[in-house]
């Protein structure tokens, strides 16, 4: 069951499989909403307080609304677990309004999206990535940043450098190495990326966010960005 505590933050009560008993704010919604792989399937949750009904349309059901229903709650969150979905499955939410209109919406809390101009969300797992930044985290914790020189290089990954092999963009992994070498040579200490979340139009430089917790698929998969 979903309830809203007095401070206005979403709390998911204990007892239901795969849920948590802690409040969240906007920066941690990805832990609760979106598509999460669980034993035997995928748990979906989306906030649609003014919807009459919500179902999941996907590769697995022929993109047919009304087959895989989500359940409503008193907080406006629609949720449910669908069996036998796997990473890579494309999906959207089919939202029926009270006026009877059927809207197909991508998941604003999805982890991965089709490459534009396609707009579906993609079921994806972030569990298997092995972080290797322990040494850097230790240095960060022991550095006096108020007394350390700082020079930030701001960059748009899509236009900073282009491949010469016919591809439109480099992969995140390629960009990471090339960009680090470049800014180090220039004497900068940090890199600031222009918006990197999913967006539909290249010319916006990322300032049209459609996937708030997904690095854009233009440059690769989430693990490439990690």
> Under CATH, what is the fold of the domain 134-225?
Transcription Regulator spoIIAA (3.30.750)
Q: pLDDT-derived band of residue 14, with 50, 70 and 90 as boundaries? A: very low
Q: pLDDT-derived band of residue 95, with 50, 70 and 90 as boundaries? A: very high
**pLDDT at residue 195 tops 60:** yes
This prediction has a pTM of: 0.84
Q: Do 38 and 18 touch, CB atoms closer than 8 A?
A: yes
Q: Domain spans of the chain?
A: 2-122, 134-225
Q: Decide which of 3.90.45.10, 2.60.40.10, 3.40.50.620, 3.40.630.30 is the CATH code for 2-122.
A: 2.60.40.10
What pLDDT is stored for residue 152 in this prediction? 96
**pLDDT at residue 21 tops 70:** no
Among the ranges given (84-93, 128-137, 193-202), the one the predictor scored with the smallest mean pLDDT: 128-137
**pLDDT at residue 10 tops 60:** no
**pLDDT at residue 87 tops 90:** yes
What pLDDT is stored for residue 26 in this prediction? 78
Residue 171 vs residues 2, 4, 23, 126: alpha-carbon distances, Å: 39, 41, 36, 18
């Amino acid at each position: 069951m979903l309830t809203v505590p007095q401070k206005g933050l979403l709390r998911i009560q204990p007892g239901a499989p795969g849920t948590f008993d802690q409040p969240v704010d906007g920066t941690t919604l990805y832990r609760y909403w979106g598509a999460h792989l669980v034993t035997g399937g995928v748990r979906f949750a989306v906030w649609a307080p003014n919807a009459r009904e919500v179902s999941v349309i996907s590769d697995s059901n022929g993109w047919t609304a009304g087959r895989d229903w989500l359940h409503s709650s008193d907080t406006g969150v629609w949720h449910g677990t669908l069996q036998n979905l796997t990473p890579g499955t494309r999906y959207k939410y089919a939202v029926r309004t009270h006026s009877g209109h059927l809207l197909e919406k991508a998941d604003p809390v999805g982890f991965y999206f089709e490459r534009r101009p396609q707009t579906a969300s993609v079921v994806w797992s972030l569990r298997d990535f092995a972080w290797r930044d322990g040494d850097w985290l230790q240095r960060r914790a022991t550095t006096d940043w108020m007394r350390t020189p700082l020079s930030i290089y701001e960059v748009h990954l899509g236009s900073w450098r282009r491949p010469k092999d016919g591809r439109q963009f480099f992969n995140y992994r390629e960009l990471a190495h090339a960009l680090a070498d470049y800014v180090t040579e220039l004497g900068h200490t940090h890199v600031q990326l222009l918006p990197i979340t999913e967006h539909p139009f290249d010319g916006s430089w990322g300032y049209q966010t459609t996937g708030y917790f997904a690095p854009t698929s233009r440059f690769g998969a989430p693990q490439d960005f990690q």
